[in-house]
Amino acid sequence: MDEYLLSEVGARLLAFVTIFVAMAAYELLSPRLERDEMLGALKARRWMTNLSLLIVSSAVLRVIFPAAAVGAALWAEANGIGLFHQIGIHGLLAGLISFVLLDLAIWGEHLASHKIPLLWRIHRIHHADNGLDVTTGLRFHPLEILISMVWKAVVVIALGAPVLAVLVFEIVLNGTSMFNHANIDIPRPLDRLLRWFVVTPDMHRVHHSSIPRETDSNYGFNFPFWDRLFRTYRPQPGRGHKGVEIGLSEYRGLSAARLFWALVLPFRPHTKGQARSVKADGE
C-alpha cells in the first residue's frame, strides 16, 4: 500500500506541474482579460499567497489524512466494503460510474459551501481573490481541503470505487480546477462547443463575479451538465467578461492577497454586509 501511495503522489505531482506550466504559459501568450489588478506587484503577491495556500493545505492534508481518497479506495477494496464490491460490479463500468458520481459529489459539496453559512466562511477565501487565473484554482483554505477529502473518502468507501478511478478523478479534478480558473483566451465558437462537455474558463468566470446571483451559479469543476440539470447554469456574466468584477465586493485590494489574512479569514466575524446570501440582488 505504501508503494502504491508513493506512486500516487508522484503521478499527481507530475500531472500538476505539467498542467500548471501549460496554463501559465497559455495565460502569458494569450490572456482572455488584460487588467491592472492582474499585473505587476499585486499579481506577484496573489501568486505567492495562492501557491503558499496550496503548500500549506497539502502539508496539513498529508499529516492528518496521509492516505487521502486513494487510500480510502485501497482500504475499501482490501475489506470488500462498498456498493460495487457487494453487487459484483468491477472494472471499467465501476470506474466510469464512480468518476461520474464523484463529480456529482464534488458539485454538491461546492453548492453546500455556498448555501451553508459555516462552510461559506471557509470557502470565501477562494472567492476573495481579486484576480482570476491558474493560481486561483489552487487557492483553498486547509480546512476546506480537509473537509473535501473526508467527504470524498466517505463517497469512495460507500461506492467501493476502484482505486485507479479514484486516482484518475483526483488528477482530473486538480487539472480542471487550474484549467477553468485560467485567464486564457479560447475562441468563442470552441468555447460554446467545449462547455457541453467540460467547464470552460468563460463559464466558470461567471461564478467568480462579485454579483451574488452570478456567484451562485456554475458550480461545476469537471462536468458542466450538473448545473444545467439542477438549473444553476448561467451562460455569461451580466456585465460581460470584460466588465465583470472578480471577487467579493467587501474584500478588495492588497489585504485579500496576503497569506495570513487568508488563513485567518474563516475565524473573522461576519458583519451583516459580509454574510453571503444565496439570494439574488435586491431580494
pLDDT tens readout for residues 3-48: 655 566 778 889 999 999 999 999 999 999 876 555 556 788 899 9
For position 174, what pLDDT does the model report? 95
What is the average pLDDT value for the chain, to the nearest integer? 89
- Residue of 90, 35, 91, 50 whose CA lies nearest to 243: 35
For position 97, what pLDDT does the model report? 97
C-alpha triplet 55, 28, 259: angle, nearest 5°: 30
Task: Say whether pLDDT at 140 is over 90.
Answer: yes
- pLDDT, one tens digit per residue, over 197-222 is 999 999 999 999 999 999 999 999 99
Largest CA distance in the chain: 57
Q: Tell me, what amino acid is at 31?
A: P
Whether residue 206 contacts residue 245, with contact meaning beta carbons closer than 8 Å, is answered with no
Distance between CA atoms of residues 207 and 202, nearest Å: 10
For position 43, what pLDDT does the model report? 81
For position 126, what pLDDT does the model report? 97
Question: Could you tell me the sign of the dihedral formed by the alpha carbons of 116, 117, 123, 127, in that order?
Answer: positive
Distance between CA atoms of residues 228 and 172, nearest Å: 21
- pLDDT, one tens digit per residue, over 73-126 is 999 999 999 999 999 888 999 999 999 999 999 999 999 999 999 999 999 999
Long-range pairs for 169-173: beta carbons < 8 A, 24 or more residues apart: 169/69, 169/98, 169/99, 169/102, 169/103, 170/12, 170/68, 170/69, 170/70, 171/11, 171/12, 171/15, 172/99, 172/222, 173/103, 173/106, 173/221, 173/222
Q: How many CB atoms lie within 10 A of CB 224?
A: 21
Residue ranges per structural domain of the chain: 2-267
Q: What are phi and psi of 248, to 5 degrees?
A: -115, 130
Q: Which residue has the cell 458583519?
A: 271
For position 41, what pLDDT does the model report? 64
Predicted TM-score (pTM) of this structure: 0.89
Torsion (CA) 193, 199, 200, 205 in degrees, nearest 10: 130
Torsion (CA) 266, 205, 229, 68 in degrees, nearest 10: -50
